[in-house]
Amino acid sequence: MQYITEIHSYQSEKPTAVTLGKFEGLHRGHQKLIGKVREYASEDVKSVVCAFDMGKATLLTAREKRERLESRVDTMIACPFTKELREMEAEDFIKKILSKRFRAAYVVVGTDFRFGHGKRGDVDMLARYAGTCGYRLDVVEKERYKDRVISSTYVREALREGDAELANALLGYTYQVSGRVEHGKRLGRTLGFPTMNVAPPPEKVLPRFGVYACRIQVGQAWYPGIGNVGVKPTVAEEPKVLIEAYAFDFDGDVYGEEVTVEFYTFVRPEQKFASVEELKDRVDANIRYCREYFSRTGLA
């Protein structure tokens, strides 16, 4: 897959099947659009995903988005939403970007796609220019989950509530956070459950603070486990948001390495305990629950 970070850097003489949007979480609705682009693609028609980066906290980092699209489309453009794009008139976007730059043969968008200065451009405008600019417009209906449209906002709401199952159902994959393992106080090891202090990317949206049944990837191997998202109020001297993960049946040294934590189900909110002993008793119970969860669901 060709990966480009500037829309004007795209160069190809071949026509394209292109879809455009923020594609923040690459959820099931986004996957529907990308699936259509893949249907139109061929040896002579290149598949292009133009993902606008709005510079806000996001469900997928740029690297994660790239990894999820790798081998699925010919080109991904991670396009900053610059002043030039914000102020470009909608008609100019169609003529200069879609027609001239992308040589679009197929334009695939959702029903609410808006573009151009003041968001004047919409699917009706795209339809009006389709004939003169030589592309076929495919307006794809929204994907729904239990009668509600799937959106990045819906995913964020689910994560904010700690509803990992709902978030995963909307995404079509398991929500995950990757980060490097930092040195801690080694308290978990002392208490019998050696944990990894995973520093999340600053731009990554995190689930509700609390304890989750998780899977943890170390190297190429995945382990069932447990994770706490938050600031560890019982033992931390200074609040710092981390994911403290314990991978069952793993006891290696991974300091400085990157690991990935997948979230499956919410166990309890983060809380401050009166003592380390009380914390240990609760964590022991949470570990038992998570082991039973993975045994019962077969997700390990």
Contacts 24+ apart (CB under 8 A), 220-226: 221/250, 223/247, 223/248, 223/249, 223/250, 224/248, 224/290, 224/291, 224/294, 224/299, 224/300, 225/250, 225/290, 226/267, 226/283, 226/286, 226/287, 226/290
In order along its 300 residues, the chain shows pLDDT tens digits of 999 999 999 999 999 999 999 999 999 999 999 999 999 999 999 999 999 998 889 999 999 999 999 989 999 999 998 899 999 999 999 999 999 999 999 999 999 999 999 999 999 999 999 999 999 999 999 999 999 999 999 999 999 999 999 999 999 999 999 999 998 766 666 666 789 999 999 999 999 999 999 999 999 999 999 999 998 776 666 678 999 999 998 988 899 999 999 999 999 999 888 888 888 899 999 999 999 999 999 987
